[in-house]
């Protein structure tokens, strides 16, 4: 009898513990940004007989800001793609998974996207008006925003 009661207690406890831990279901996101953050390092020059190295997924944090102009950030002196301060409003952030994949729900609009890298923020895309890493989210659509961290690569 004690074994049966113990078994029931453990089963109910495990069931209740599992049902109380909920994860955000990113598959239900139908509007915002989705993509993958990858990193490449080292020599990326083509070499005869050598395969080009594949980018590796980067587990990090993706930060989404209001549109950010180059004049609204402070740069790291040693790397022009690393920013120490972003002076626009943070809209949202999301952790990438172990493969670098992420998905984040956002209202329609334009956003600057940065990636957490060490003590700074990485972005290496600019438009013709010097807005940093600008992506447009349209009503009812997921915008693909793949980011390749390449500050330790040579081309």
How many whole angstroms separate alpha carbon 129 and alpha carbon 131?
Answer: 6
- pLDDT band (50, 70, 90) for residue 147: very high
- pLDDT band (50, 70, 90) for residue 135: very high
For residue 112, what are its two tokens?
């600057």
How many whole angstroms separate alpha carbon 106 and alpha carbon 58?
Answer: 22
Cα separation values, 17 from 3, 9, 86, Å = 21, 12, 40
DSSP symbol at 27: G
Task: Please tell us whether the domain made up of 29-154 is placed in CATH 2.60.260.20.
Answer: no
CB 101 within 8 A of CB 57: yes
Residues 110-135 have a mean pLDDT of: 96
Say what percent of the chain tops pLDDT 70: 75
Which residue ranges make up each domain of the chain? 29-154
- Is residue 9 scored above 90 in pLDDT? no
Q: Which residues contact 22 (CB under 8 A, 6 or more apart)?
A: none
Please give the residue that has the higher pLDDT: either 99 or 14. 99
For residue 79, what are its two tokens?
């790397």
- Is residue 53 scored above 80 in pLDDT? no
CB 137 within 8 A of CB 31: yes
**Mean pLDDT score across all residues of the chain:** 82
How many whole angstroms separate alpha carbon 91 and alpha carbon 112?
Answer: 10
pLDDT in tens, 17-27: 333 323 345 56
pLDDT value of residue 114: 98
- Is residue 62 scored above 90 in pLDDT? yes
Residue pointed to by tokens 């993509």:
35
Q: Can you count the helices (H) and strands (E) in the chain?
A: 1, 12
């Amino acid at each position: 009898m004690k074994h049966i009661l113990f078994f029931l207690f453990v089963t109910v406890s495990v069931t209740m513990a599992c049902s109380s831990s909920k994860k955000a279901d990113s598959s239900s996101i139908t509007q915002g940004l989705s993509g993958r953050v990858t990193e490449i390092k080292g020599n990326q020059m083509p070499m005869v007989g050598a395969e080009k190295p594949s980018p590796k997924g980067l587990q990090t944090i993706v930060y989404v800001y209001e549109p950010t102009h180059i004049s609204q950030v402070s740069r790291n002196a040693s790397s022009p793609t690393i920013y120490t301060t972003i002076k626009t409003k943070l809209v949202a952030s999301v952790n990438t998974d172990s493969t670098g994949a992420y998905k984040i729900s956002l209202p329609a609009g334009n956003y600057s996207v940065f990636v957490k890298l060490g003590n700074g923020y990485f972005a290496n895309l600019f438009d013709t008006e010097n807005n940093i890493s600008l992506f447009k989210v349209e009503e009812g659509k997921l915008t693909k925003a793949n980011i390749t961290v390449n500050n330790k690569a040579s081309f």
